Homo-oligomer: A and B are copies of this chain.
Amino acid sequence: MSDSFQFTLLKNDGDARLGRIETPRGRIRTPAFMPVGTAGTVKGIWPHDVRATGADIILGNTYHLMLRPTAERIHALFGSLHAFMRWDGPILTDSGGFQVMSLSSLRKISEEGVRFRSHIDGSEHFMSPERSMEIQNLLDSDIRMQLDEVVALPASIEAQAAAMQRSLRWAARCREAFDAHAAPGRAIFGIVQGGVEKELRAASVKGLLDIGFHGHAIGGLAVGEGQELMLAMTEYTAALLPADRPRYLMGVGTPEDILEAVARGVDMFDCVMPTRAGRHGQAFTRFGKLNLRNARFADDTRPLDPGNPHPALGQFSRAYIHHLVKAGELLGQMILSLANVAYYQQLMDGMRTAIEQGRFDDFRRETKAQWAAGLPD
């Protein structure tokens, strides 16, 4: 435990980085994958089981929590999102901006902020940089994200530039609000915007460095531009960011996306994919992605992944999980959600060990070859 937020870069292996973040609520080993706890729960997984997968930190969604049960209620009753949901490690909260733009209705954006209606009950709300920081402060998250403006790609260069510039002005307001209220040891990350335009990305980084943040997120990617362009922009942006602060690629992604982004210098990730796929009968494994609904598994008595270290997962056969998925049983969703988060953590652990040993490129090649080879007979 540490009294302050502290990132230590332990080792480079090519552009891949091994690091450690110390926070008052515990340490985060990087590269790190943060399971998404949208509405105060990592869907379908007991909190102690999330922890047992090796997750050091989870993500909470400001938009969902501000609407229900409200940040004010969580703060008044429990003092923190951690106490509310019984997660005793660090939590990163997003700004709420992404969900405001993708889930709410009747949005009206101005320089001041965004007026919108809840997707749950139609009630009217206002999200500004100051309001986002207020909510995240009420939740007392350990890492807080600035409010930014994301444009869906493709968009005109003018639209991308305008959103980037507004995001910088909002970044300054967020930093100011954070400094006025956050407890010691909490951190705020700025978000690099600029779409797929290098000059805009560079200008965004410069603006964020002028303000000063504990870490940097690469935002506005994985929104439809394709993996190749996403990785190219990630590589370009990561190289501009200071080495002594963590880098977070928001909302990414598949195991391959994450592996490739670590190779390009990214330290932190979050994605709903492992739990969402688990609820739909899909498993991420060392042998690639499996659809447990497939009839090929009906008579397969082997465990999902004999190499998965989680004790709750080695015991169930593919035939049993196939049956649960076909029968629509909750336990099927529970097993696969947990198995997928466990696999993501196993992948991160493998990357950390490989960087430490100076063999990240080998690990990357072997891991991709094993995905491509698929299940052994």
Query: A68-B326, A86-B315 are contacts. A44–B331 as well, Cβ < 8 Å?
Result: yes
Contact of A301 among B39, B77, B327 (CB under 8 A): B77
The answer on a CB contact under 8 Å between A69 and B319 is: yes
Q: How many angstroms from the CA of A298 to the CA of B78 in the assembled complex?
A: 12
Contact of A330 among B78, B312, B333 (CB under 8 A): B333
B residues near A279, Cβ cutoff 8 Å: 330
Give the residues in chain B near A68, CB-CB below 8 Å.
Answer: 323, 326-327
Task: Tally chain A residues at the interface, Cβ within 8 Å.
Answer: 37
Chain B residues closer than 8 Å to A317, beta-carbon distance: 77-78, 84
Bound Cα distance A69, B319 (Å): 9
Interface bits A31-65 vs B (CB < 8 Å: 1, else 0): 00000000111011110100000000000000010
A298 touching B69 in the complex, CB below 8 Å, given contacts A316-B86, A320-B40: yes
> Across the interface, which residues of B come within 8 angstroms of A316, CB to CB?
86
Query: In chain A between 280 and 332, which residues have their CB closer than 8 angstroms to a CB of chain B?
Result: 298-299, 301, 312, 315-317, 319-320, 322-324, 326-327, 329-331
A315: nearest residue on chain B (CB-CB)?
B86
Expressed in whole angstroms, the minimum distance between the Cβ of A61 and any Cβ of chain B is 11
Interface check A334, CB cutoff 8 A:
yes
Given B41, B46, B77, B301, which contacts A329 in the complex, CB threshold below 8 Å?
B41
Query: Which residue of chain B has its CB nearest to the CB of A301?
Result: B77
Which of B46, B69, B78 is close to A334, meaning CB atoms less than 8 Å apart? B46
Q: Are A46 and B77 closer than 8 Å at their CB atoms?
A: no
Q: How far is the CA of A48 from the CA of B73 in the complex (A)?
A: 34
Closest beta carbon of chain B to A139's beta carbon, Å: 13
Complex contacts, A299 vs chain B, CB 8 Å: 73, 77
Contacts of A333 in B (CB 8 A): 330
* B46 adjacent to A319 (CB under 8 Å): no
By the criterion CB–CB under 8 Å, are B39 and A327 in contact? yes
Task: Answer yes or no: A85 CB below 8 A from chain B CBs.
Answer: yes
A298 to B73, CA, bound (A): 9
- Residue in contact with A312 in the complex, picked from B43, B45, B48, B324, CB distance below 8 Å: B48
Tell me the chain A residues, 128-158 only, with Cβ under 8 Å from chain B.
Answer: none
Instruction: Report yes or no: B78 in contact with A301, Cβ–Cβ below 8 A.
Output: yes
A326 to B43, CA, bound (A): 14
Q: How far is the CA of A283 from the CA of B263 in the complex (A)?
A: 49
6 residue pairs, one from A and one from B, having the closest CB atoms: A44-B330, A41-B331, A69-B323, A39-B327, A41-B329, A77-B301
